Amino acid sequence: MRIGQVIVDIASSLVDKIFDYLLPEQDIAVGSRVLVPFGKIKKDGYLIKITENTNYDVIKLKTIIACIDDFPVITSDQLKLAEFMKEKFHIGMCDALRLFLPSELRQGKVKELTKTNCFIQDENKAKEFLSTTRSNAKAIIGIINYLLEHGSTTKTILANKFNSASLNKLIEQNIVQTQITKVRRTPYKSVDEEKQQKSITLTSTQQSIVDRVISEKNIYLLHGVTGSGKTEVYMHCMEKILENNQTGIMLVPEISLTPQVLMNFRSRFGENVAILHSGLSAGERFDEWQRILFGEAQIVVGARSAIFAPLKNIGLIVIDEEHDNSYTSDSNPRYNTIEIAKERAKISGASLVLGSATPSLISYHNAMVGNYQLLEMKERINKKELPPLKIVDMTNEIREGNIGVFSNSLKKALIKTIESGNQAMLFINRRGYASFLMCKKCGFVAKCEDCDVSLVYHKSEKSLKCHYCGNRYKVLTECPNCGNEELSTGAVGTERVVQEIKEFLPNVSISRMDNDTTKTKDSHLKILSDFRNGKTQILVGTQMIAKGHDFPSVTLVGIIDADVSLYQTSYTSNEQTFQLITQVAGRAGRADKAGEIYLQTYAPRHYVYRLASFYDYPAFYNKEINLRQTTLYPPFSKIIRILFTSENENLAKECTKVYYDDVKNLQSEFLNDFVYLGVMKSPIGRIQNKYRLQILMRIKPENEDKITDKLFEIADNHKMRDVKIFVEINPQNLN
């Protein structure tokens, strides 16, 4: 007797278990999607295992109705990974399996793209036909000669060159044969054309790193300063991986960054590269997924979800800019990409390379205590100096009567840069014109109706926007509270920076890159290529412009308001600020021209700025890790947040309270492990009209697994229909 264990495709923790079915006559492979009877209805499911026995009454077992696709859609490695995610992150099997599939497959929406090829099978017959054709039948003669000369050609091309009536006639008379084949959509096809195949000889540092990664399976932390040639190392490693008939995954933080890495990978590896990220169209994603599953593409480049790609025989996983926030998923399902990559590497016996100019404190600590192997690239290619970073004291500017966005020195430098024909990047981590609008008389601040946050002023759109739920309101012309028409604006955003530049450089062309200007599919690409081609001279943007970009003509980088990041209320704010500055600064002076950086702040003596200006990561690490150790913050503890959200405030409070009582009991059981336990309203008490409460704790590492298991268990016990409970481990964002 053969029993098929099936995960039914219903994303509800209530049915998150394995159901046993009898297997039908025909063979079904593990990893296939199947149709099964479920209660009174039929449901899709995933066959995850075939066994000989069952704990249920065999007579009552139902039989799998059918296999849905022609091939298994989930690999055995992926099944193991799903098990791990269930254990580690408490993600339901069904939710985990869904991460492996393009959603279009499950919804059955994607149409396969096909093309019809025309060709001549019997040349003699065709030539005979030609000899009997009247000489004025130009199209007929043309088509046959063309096919005899060029071989198989698509019907569309032939119909355009000649005419479709003649072509159809030839097909009807069986002189021309046709064959329908599938076509794959290729995302970012245009980048192929920008091929810049230069052959590069690795430096000895680069070469020894490549050799080590390929010859010794391990977890590596590659700490290389900006412009040290990390991307080149990744590509050479992937070349070796291909030579060994293995496959590889290359993760990059954001879509805005992908085009460049992609361009490099495409020009080196051509069709062997597949791309996976959320910016693709449904059809493109489906095709890329198929190319990977069928082994047509051996290297996958993509954002964090590419870690789930259906590759077989993985030899290498690279996570570039490993410190980046985007590797933590803070919406459901919540997971940490690095942890998943470690497990995936373990399952397939692959090496894992975490690369960054500013590793996360946790990763660097792992390297220091020997969990990871540290690889270092301390110099830029050609031993170029890192560009000098000047700290500008904005309190001085105010004292001198300058209340504008730009200090005099940055303004001068910007003018000089433009006059000398170079380019500048200006970074401000806030989009819109100003962080809020406030009545000068009564202090009224415009707030979102559905969230407890103030609205951001977007001047060009004449609107106020909520950056949490996306609500949009008409801009105020007077205070709705007291009628006063004098309104003051809050802290500076990207839009305002652009406006101020226009006041002193009226003829320069400026691009703005932030969430507002990059909504459409190819807008990132367009902004970046305009800047690269010199169509625009200044690029103003949020953290989107900080990462990875390699623009040779950029000689000036301005950090307009560094304090935005430093004064967040997070234990990682020092770390994040150091990373951000180093990354942004790394965009300047990458090619032959020297670069410089201006960092504007109201706290010029802060050690984060001082150490960032020396590019001294190890010194920063030492200082910060000591602080973390004395205060028992990660990596010396885990921060766990249990977040409760509900439209019903009382229900949320009730649920939080019962849960908190259970955690209290847990605390008495593990008294020595709890560094901190507290319950409170979340810093943002309401988002999208859902009230938010949280239990926060810090746990020492020793028993942390046991405790998180219990916390997940408590969450399962307190399930309420109208309250959502999220257990988050070391969350990036504690809003």
Backbone angles phi, psi at 181, to 5 degrees: -125, 155
Let me know: does 537 contact 418? Beta carbons within 8 Å: yes
Residues 497-536 that bind Zn ion (CB under 5 A): none
232 binds, among ligand ADP, Zn ion, none (CB under 5 to 8 A by kind): ligand ADP
User: Both tokens of residue 674?
Assistant: 């709890």
471 binds, among ligand ADP, Zn ion, none (CB under 5 to 8 A by kind): Zn ion
How far apart (Å, rounded) are the C-alpha atoms in residues 703 and 673?
A: 7
Pairing mode, strands 437-439 and 456-458: unpaired
Cβ count near 508 (within 10 Å): 16
209 binds, among ligand ADP, Zn ion, none (CB under 5 to 8 A by kind): none
Query: Hey, is 287 helix, strand or coil?
Result: helix
Binding of ligand ADP by 228 (CB under 6 A): yes
Binding of ligand ADP by 682 (CB under 6 A): no
Backbone angles phi, psi at 220, to 5 degrees: -115, 145
Backbone angles phi, psi at 458, to 5 degrees: -115, 100
Which has the closest alpha carbon to 212: 343, 374, 382? 374
Beta bridge mates, 336: 328
450 binds, among Zn ion, ligand ADP, none (CB under 5 to 8 A by kind): Zn ion
Residues 6+ apart with CB under 8 A from 692: 643, 644, 645, 652, 681, 682, 684, 685, 686
Of the two residues 396 and 471, which places its CB atom closer to Zn ion in the complex?
Answer: 471
DSSP 443: -
Min. distance of Cβ 226 from ligand ADP in angstroms? Answer: 5
469 binds, among Zn ion, ligand ADP, none (CB under 5 to 8 A by kind): Zn ion
Of the two residues 404 and 552, which places its CB atom closer to ligand ADP in the complex?
Answer: 552
How far apart (Å, rounded) are the C-alpha atoms in residues 358 and 323?
A: 7
Pairing mode, strands 690-699 and 456-458: unpaired
User: Both tokens of residue 579?
Assistant: 């990373």
Pairing mode, strands 638-646 and 724-729: antiparallel
Which has the closest alpha carbon to 377: 531, 250, 248, 206? 206
Binding of ligand ADP by 224 (CB under 6 A): yes
Min. distance of Cβ 264 from ligand ADP in angstroms? Answer: 8
229 binds, among Zn ion, ligand ADP, none (CB under 5 to 8 A by kind): ligand ADP
Which residue of 469, 508, 675, 677 would you call a contact of Zn ion, by CB under 5 A?
A: 469
How far apart (Å, rounded) are the C-alpha atoms in residues 410 and 417?
A: 10
Binding flags for Zn ion, 425-464, as an x/- string (CB under 5 A): -----------------------x-xx-------------
Residues 6+ apart with CB under 8 A from 447: 453, 454, 455
Residues 592-611 that bind Zn ion (CB under 5 A): none
Backbone angles phi, psi at 624, to 5 degrees: -70, -35
Binding of Zn ion by 466 (CB under 5 A): yes
Binding of ligand ADP by 229 (CB under 6 A): yes
Residue 488 CA to its chain's centroid (Å):
36
239 binds, among Zn ion, ligand ADP, none (CB under 5 to 8 A by kind): none
Which residue of 33, 184, 230, 458 would you call a contact of ligand ADP, by CB under 6 A?
A: 230
Going from the C-alpha of 603 to that of each of 506, 558, 561, the distances in angstroms are 31, 16, 11
Min. distance of Cβ 455 from Zn ion in angstroms? Answer: 8
Of the two residues 203 and 407, which places its CB atom closer to ligand ADP in the complex?
Answer: 203
Q: How many residues line the site for Zn ion (CB under 5 A)?
A: 7
Of the two residues 456 and 625, which places its CB atom closer to Zn ion in the complex?
Answer: 456
Binding of ligand ADP by 227 (CB under 6 A): yes
Of the two residues 77 and 379, which places its CB atom closer to ligand ADP in the complex?
Answer: 379
How far apart (Å, rounded) are the C-alpha atoms in residues 727 and 65?
A: 37
How far apart (Å, rounded) are the C-alpha atoms in residues 546 and 356?
A: 13
Binding flags for ligand ADP, 528-567, as an x/- string (CB under 6 A): ----------------------x-----------------
Min. distance of Cβ 586 from ligand ADP in angstroms? Answer: 7
Residues 365-384 that bind ligand ADP (CB under 6 A): 381
Binding of ligand ADP by 231 (CB under 6 A): yes
Residues 196-215 that bind ligand ADP (CB under 6 A): 200-203, 206
Min. distance of Cβ 376 from ligand ADP in angstroms? Answer: 12
Which residue of 78, 226, 572, 582 would you call a contact of ligand ADP, by CB under 6 A?
A: 226
How far apart (Å, rounded) are the C-alpha atoms in residues 129 and 675?
A: 89
282 binds, among Zn ion, ligand ADP, none (CB under 5 to 8 A by kind): none
Binding site for Zn ion (CB under 5 A): 448, 450-451, 466, 468-469, 471
Binding site for ligand ADP (CB under 6 A): 200-203, 206, 224, 226-232, 381, 550
